[in-house]
Structure 1
């Protein structure tokens, strides 16, 4: 079922609508909802047709114009209206999809409020919405993924991606379309509802419950909040037409609203409907008890005055000078009380500062112990006096290093926190990562301590060095070496047609990154799976030497395990499809993500972009398809400035294809990838005796053949490989951001 609501923008205002509303038989309410101007139920009762309310007398429900959108509340003081918006759903049975409806909404004088949330419910759900700001404004796509995994992970009140997910709604959104889809047609979910649901809901009006996965089918509508304004002209322009301008009498334009259109509000000290002439009436603060007078209150138009009793003078206000005794009385009072007051003040300040200092010391001690400070000290003291051991910084040291975390020191933000540039007391320049607030249990604390100790001892030229940490805050702070030349993503996706980022630099960066990951997987004292390999997490120094960074999502792998069962975590476009399907994290998950990085280095395109055609949105899938069709040259980055494809690029492309295989066991290890890239790099400098060319002439000709009409990328029937069939079953939306 598809619902399309179009409210056209009308330029002709209804002159004198307010007076007509007072003089005609206009409905003042429908059911439990009050109908107030500029809204109205009939001709002459509303400001313009956009504000027409249709009342169903039998059901007692007001409708938004003639549509089936039910109004549940409206406010003229806040310029908001609550409506019951339909829920999109996508349902399956054993034979496949049985019902789907997409929800679309287009508004003119109304906008979807940023106080709403976009929510999706389901165990096999991919939900996103296309949105546009204004009728012809900028558009974009966003959404979220909801999976269930083990039932024990589903939590009431949590919309974090397990059974339920949510995203924020942007400002000034006038159009949206909700789309839902499933990865596996709900075939692996038998005991839960085989449906996916997506809807906009006012923040605070929906609290996820595990029962929603079974009984949400009966819920058809959810409360959604709309913002509205009058017309499209600013207040200054609209005021020129005095007859149609609505902010009159004690009503004024809302200066806090920046358009489009304008809003009215009652002047301070008045209340009522600001859109009806002379409806803003005086508030009697004296009768209501909302005044600030010490003694007597006298009401005035739009305000009030205070007076003092005999023998006292002043403005009479508690927040002003108040009522003070006459001069003679004041002198006696001041002389008698000043000494005692000063002594008392000194005592209170001394006690306050002492208690505050002690409280701060106790709080830091609490965080230090809570974050495993004692455990870290034991680890450091037992490391045999290692020269590279981690240092435990105090909170004062890092505040001084970052100028109290000044915003000008911010060099990066991401899903895990904020990174600041700092200068230590020994003039070392460092990067200080301030993580976002998160709940931590004892096992997570132990893992964090182990990670700090292990990473601080890693001495690999292509891994960012961990210098130490601070444990005196609620969330620990990490201190890294500072890398000055930005991220690999900055250089791959830099604007302009710069040719300085050449192929040999890209190949060397790829080789160094692979060597670092291979070291983490197989040479570190405890194997480490990075779990968020992407160009944003590969830093470059002034000589374009690669440094793998951001281990916020990394996992330490015990020696006796080859895989870990975890909640899926990573970044859209780089996620291992096998990991996403099974929740089993292995070192081959990093291999897949690294394969996507190789493709970005080859093509210069982002791993995922909704601005590209649908068949090209997922770069990995599009690249594999282009390889299969022999169109490698057409997808290469034009900034590489090659007239023909060098053999080294063909070899790297084939290596990327192997890294991107859906089955992890068919991918090479990072050690094998690093060795192969090292060999390819060596051939660019000189013919290396142990590097063999594995690409024959027929294969080169296939990779570079010109496309034909039958090779169109959107003709997916030409792709018969099980690899691509498997790829189509996996999601293309983000799970979590990294840096």
Structure 2
């Protein structure tokens, strides 16, 4: 039993001597061995730790360090490499650990360059849109103004518009159709910001022309019943308008009730007056172009031909207006719906007819008020 234990002990001592002898005879690992170990060892690819064992042989240290850097840049991945460098009969082991600093640094530089490139493209696009839209606006102003004075407006940046609308918050939308109107704050006052709508009904060129035409026209008009233009933004593909914020609501709110919650308060007399004043403002518009809404026009024409127009009139209008006035109003609207331009009345003729209806309504209201006054006395 003792002989077996002593033999086992001798074998272990022999293994230890052979292991120490192999370590002394190991030289510097070549570049090819480093690259091979980097690819072959799966543990090396995951940990990202470099183990460096060096001695006083500075040439081997330099060569092994260069081999390590080449392996990192060549394969562009973290690696685990072990260098055992032979010294003058003795060696020293130094452990150095790092979590792939080269890869992290290169990734940060690449991400920063991508951000700079995107910002440069955005800036160039804004500059191009500003020059293009500004040139078109100047051309329209020269054509329409003809030397007349215009209302001064301010040019806002796209960043100011974005901040004013809280990054185009849907909760700030006042209305949306061919254009979306946001409520915002600019220059310490509430404004209405008109941008392109969610649905493009025509080409981009026509939308740009539409918005710039509004800027040109609103600069020439200064009236209490016309929304004032404060400024515009030319840094986007389709310009944006900054308008006066109207607190009293829209015409639709007064005709049908605000948000369908407040009952309508507008009288029949005011309805006719609004239509008359609107037609007077549109007298300069041509009547050759015709826009037809089939879902409404066909139904209206059918009721007119059946002499049942009173069936589709608002109950508020029926209670306030006379059948004669309503019928005259409907007949005028029917004439405006003719497909042929020569069969439609001009805006001047429409204005004259509406003024006649307005005078009838006013005379009838004054007569009714006089009768009520006599009855009360």
- For residues 427 and 464 of structure 1, do their structure 2 counterparts lie closer, same or farther at Cα, with a shift above 3 Å needed? closer
Cα distance in 2 for residues equivalent to 1:440 and 1:625: 43
1:466 Cα offset (Å): 3.9
SS of 2:282's equivalent in the other structure is helix
Alpha-carbon shift at residue 400 of structure 1 (Å): 1.4
Q: Contact 1:462/1:516 (CA < 8 Å) preserved in 2?
A: no
| Alignment partner, residue 351 of structure 2 | 671
Equivalent of 2:118 in 356, 361, 386: 356
Alignment partner of 1:675: what SS? Answer: helix
- Relative to the length of structure 2, the TM-score reads 0.58
Runs of 4 or more, structure 1, over 6 Å off, are 495-499
Asked if the contact 1:467/1:480 (under 8 Å) is kept, the reply is yes
Give the Cα separation in 1 of the matches to 2:46 and 2:260: 73
Work out whether residues 269 and 361 of structure 2, in 8 Å CA contact, stay in contact via their aligned partners in 1.
yes
Q: Which residue of 2 aligns with 1:334?
A: 98
Among 360, 364, 374, which residue is 2:135 paired with? 374
- Deviation, structure 1 residue 361: 1.4
Superposition pairs of residues 378-527 of structure 1, within 5 angstroms: 386=149, 388-414=151-177, 416-435=178-197, 436-437=199-200, 439-441=203-205, 448-490=211-253, 492-493=255-256, 500-502=263-265, 505-521=267-283, 527=284
2:325 is matched with 651
Greater percentage in helix: 2
User: Partners in 1 of 2:123 and 2:139 — Cα distance?
Assistant: 22
Point out the structure with max Rg over C-alpha: 2
**Post-superposition offset of 1:453:** 0.5
2:36 corresponding residue in structure 1 = none
Aligned-residue offset at 1:363: 0.4
Spell out, residue by residue over 1:555-580, the C-alpha distance to the aligned partner (whole angstroms, 9 max, x if none).
xx5xxxx635xxx645344xxxxxxx
Structure 1 residue 470: Cα displacement: 2.0
User: Is this contact kept in 2: 1:456–1:468, CA < 8 A?
Assistant: no
Between structures 1 and 2, the one with greater strand share: 1
Give the corresponding residue for 1:619. 300
Query: Matched residue pairs, number?
Result: 279
TM-score (norm 1): 0.32
Asked whether 1:571 is paired with 2:293, we answer: yes
Does structure 2 retain, via aligned residues, the 8 Å contact 1:389–1:453? no
CA contact (8 A) 1:456 1:467 kept: no
Change (3 A) 1:326 1:646: closer
Deviations 1:234-293 (A, max 9, x none): xxxxxxxxxxxxxxxxxxxxxxxxxxxxxxxxxxxxxxxxxxxxxxxxxxxxxxxxxxxx
Query: Partner of 1:324 in structure 2?
Result: 47
**Deviation per residue, 1:77-101 (Å, 9 max, x gap):** xxxxxxxxxxxxxxxxxxxxxxxxx
Deviations along 1:675-699, whole A, 9 cap, x unmatched? 23442453365359xxxxxxxxxxx
| Contact 2:175/2:181 (<8 A) preserved | yes
2:61 corresponds in structure 1 to none
CA shift for structure 1 position 408? 1.0
Once residues 497 and 342 of structure 1 are traced to their aligned partners in structure 2, the CA distance between those partners, rounded to angstroms, is 59
Alignment gaps of 5+ in structure 1:
1-307, 314-321, 522-526, 529-556, 574-606, 609-616, 689-739
CA contact (8 A) 2:208 2:239 kept: no
Give 2:59's aligned residue.
none
Could you say if the C-alpha distance between residues 462 and 426 of structure 1 is closer, same or farther in structure 2, counting changes exceeding 3 Å?
Answer: same
Distance 1:465 1:479 in 2: 9
Q: Does the 8 Å contact 2:218/2:229 carry over to 1?
A: yes
Alignment RMSD (CA, Å): 4.3
Q: Give unmatched runs, 5+ long, in structure 2.
A: 1-38, 52-79, 82-94, 369-377
Provide the rounded CA distance (Å) in 1 between the counterparts of 2:259 and 2:130: 48
Task: Give the secondary-structure state (helix, strand or coil) at the position aligned to 1:618.
Answer: helix
Query: Partners of 1:452 and 1:390 in 2: how far apart?
Result: 9
Q: With a CA cutoff of 8 Å and minimum separation of 6, indicate the structure with the bigger relative contact order.
A: 2
Q: Is the partner of 2:217 in helix, strand or coil?
A: helix
